[in-house]
Structure 1
């Protein structure tokens, strides 16, 4: 899957990371819904750090359609209220089929 961090880079992540991304995204949503600015910044930074750590940066010549687009790292809680609602930016991974 391809994840873009707005104003940074695009990252290729293995699909096996989808569940963890969703869990981190849910933590951001919970912090926003609780109106907890410190918790929001901590949770959002954890989400972006996970993407940076587990993803491989795509080169400038490898521009691909992004599966998920994350707002910039300096996102404010006020701005996050518009983005992180409901399921957040990363929906649950598709259920495995037998």
Structure 2
């Protein structure tokens, strides 16, 4: 799976990490839907760090992204507009 963080680049995550990725994304979705600012910051930071823990795709390589995450400085209000009932990561 290839995940892009807007303004940063792309990371490749092993397929066996998808369940963990979805769990972190679920935490984010819950925080956003409840309007929990602190929970949002914690969960979004955890999601970004999880993705950054994957294999960085070199900038000179371009791949279709399976998921696109907003920049790390996104606000709770901005995130509320982006998240559907399934979070940011489909699946």
Coarse TM-score class (shorter-chain normalised): over 0.9
Aligned CA RMSD, in angstroms, stands at 0.8
Q: Say whether the 8 Å CA contact 1:10–1:57 is kept in structure 2.
A: yes
**Residue 6 in 1 paired to residue 6 in 2?**
yes
Q: TM-score, normalised by structure 1?
A: 0.89
Which runs of no fewer than 5 residues in structure 1 stay unpaired?
Answer: 93-98
Q: Secondary structure at the match of 1:31?
A: helix
Q: TM-score, normalised by structure 2?
A: 0.95
Larger Rg: 1
Q: Say whether the 8 Å CA contact 2:5–2:70 is kept in structure 1.
A: yes
Q: Say whether the 8 Å CA contact 1:40–1:77 is kept in structure 2.
A: yes
Q: Say whether the 8 Å CA contact 2:22–2:89 is kept in structure 1.
A: yes
Q: Give the ranges of 4+ consecutive aligned residues of structure 1 lying more than 3 Å apart after TM superposition.
A: none
Shift of 1:7: 0.5
